Amino acid sequence: MDDQLLIRNGRVLQEGKFTKADLVISGAMIAEVCEKRDDRKAANRIDASGLTVLPGFIDIHTHGGCGIDINNAAGRELDELTVFYAEQGITGFLPTLLTAAQEGFKRALRNIRTVKEQGTKGAKILGIHMEGPYLCKAFKGAMPEELIVPPSIEQFEEYDRISGNNIKLVTVAPETEHVVDFIKHVTLKDIIVSIGHSGADYDRCMACIEAGVKSATHLFNAMKPLHHHQPSIIGACLESDIFCELICDGRHLHPGIVRLAVKAKGMDKIIGVTDSIMAAGVPDGQYKLGPADIIVKDGDARLADGSSRAGSTLTMIQALKNIVQFTGKGLEQCIDTITYNPAKLLGLDQRKGSISLGKDADLVILDRDYNVRFTIAEGKIVYCA
């Protein structure tokens, strides 16, 4: 068949182990995984000798990169951003919207919907992450305080409608008013609720987890610290079985905290995210994060007044290198944190997040030094070094 793509001789990750295998991609799917394939029929082939074939990376928390800010981008720009993500090994992501004034927020939802429906040149849009406005003002991070409001089912419904029902994940703070009703409502719609930007106490957070919360937004960052008499949101997130996002750029979390989180949660509940802003992949300078002015120096992004760190300049491939380095564990033990685990949280694990017969052909091919050589999203080569 002419439209088949054959990936030969790669070191392929399957069920937690590397094996030498050939992969046949037909259309958007993995059609064959075998020891050695007769390659005479495949029109397109990649020689992956000496290379490692992994599931494509999934970033559930990113605000932009390559000079493009998701809150303020539309059309061609958003599509360009998907190409940047593909260069970093990402095959699927949740464009993450920061708290913004209603009109701007709605415009951003429409813009993402349009680009998702048209189809992207690079990584695929798997849905939208709404990071706010239902957060705690005292833990706002880089969010504009005056725009932070209590959860509103009515407003959320309007946003979801405008997005074409593409909202997949919403971050809320457990101390906000009527939050339990909100969590139950959203969860019934199969939308994931994550808790974060919060100073809530342990009991309040456990009640939210009981009500359906499935994840924590950048655990430890923009949260009340853990105290042995007041375990706070961090204690509840570590003790329960929810997923926890970690920003592993070496700035947001001490490597010892990454190891502690992995030990407490198990690798299967950790999700590596970038929380990257438009300054990822471009030089230091002045940038925007939604409505806020940002200054990036030595790769460290901060609000222009210096009061708070404001997202990261991390890329997914660097996140993977860091997780391997910080934990001292093998690539095969760390890879799920940016592939299978986010797919599982999003309810997409039957199709995405691992390499096996019949799954979406979302793949990244790395050399020994973790350079991305090829990225394949739903069967198409979207990046080639």
- Residues serving a catalytic function are 275
Q: Which stretch binds Zn ion (CB under 5 A): 5-13, 158-166, 275-283, 361-369?
A: 275-283
Buried b (16+ CB within 10 A) or exposed e, 47-66: ebeebbbbbbbbbbbbbbbb
- Count the alpha carbons within 13 Å of 140 in the hemisphere toward its beta carbon: 16
46 or 125: whose CB is closer to Zn ion?
Answer: 125
Rounded to 10 deg, the angle between the 255-265 and 232-239 helix axes is 50
Report whether 247 contacts 312 (CB < 8 A). yes
Nearest-approach distance from CB 130 to Zn ion, in angstroms: 11
67 or 196: whose CB is closer to Zn ion?
Answer: 196
Please give the Cα distance from 233 to 228 (Å, whole number). Answer: 12
160 or 275: whose CB is closer to Zn ion?
Answer: 275
53 or 108: whose CB is closer to Zn ion?
Answer: 108
Nearest-approach distance from CB 216 to Zn ion, in angstroms: 13
301-330 residues in contact with Zn ion (CB under 5 A) are none
206 or 273: whose CB is closer to Zn ion?
Answer: 273
Nearest-approach distance from CB 296 to Zn ion, in angstroms: 15
22 or 275: whose CB is closer to Zn ion?
Answer: 275
Nearest-approach distance from CB 290 to Zn ion, in angstroms: 10
Nearest-approach distance from CB 275 to Zn ion, in angstroms: 4
Q: By CB under 5 A, is residue 275 in contact with Zn ion? A: yes
Q: By CB under 5 A, is residue 69 in contact with Zn ion? A: no
Neighbours of 264 (CB within 10 A): 13
Q: By CB under 5 A, is residue 245 in contact with Zn ion? A: no
120-159 residues in contact with Zn ion (CB under 5 A) are 131
Please give the Cα distance from 315 to 383 (Å, whole number). Answer: 15
Q: Which stretch binds Zn ion (CB under 5 A): 162-170, 273-281, 302-310, 361-369?
A: 273-281
**Total site size for Zn ion, rule CB under 5 A:** 2
Residue nearest to Zn ion (CB): 275
Q: Which stretch binds Zn ion (CB under 5 A): 26-34, 269-277, 352-360, 366-374?
A: 269-277
Q: Which stretch binds Zn ion (CB under 5 A): 160-168, 182-190, 271-279, 300-308?
A: 271-279
126 or 361: whose CB is closer to Zn ion?
Answer: 126
Residue 335 main-chain phi, psi, to 5 deg: -60, -35
Buried b (16+ CB within 10 A) or exposed e, 140-153: bbbbbeebbbbbee
Nearest-approach distance from CB 168 to Zn ion, in angstroms: 15
Nearest-approach distance from CB 311 to Zn ion, in angstroms: 6
7 or 314: whose CB is closer to Zn ion?
Answer: 314
Binding mask 85-124 for Zn ion (x = CB under 5 A): ----------------------------------------
Nearest-approach distance from CB 249 to Zn ion, in angstroms: 13
Site residues (CB under 5 A) for Zn ion?
131, 275
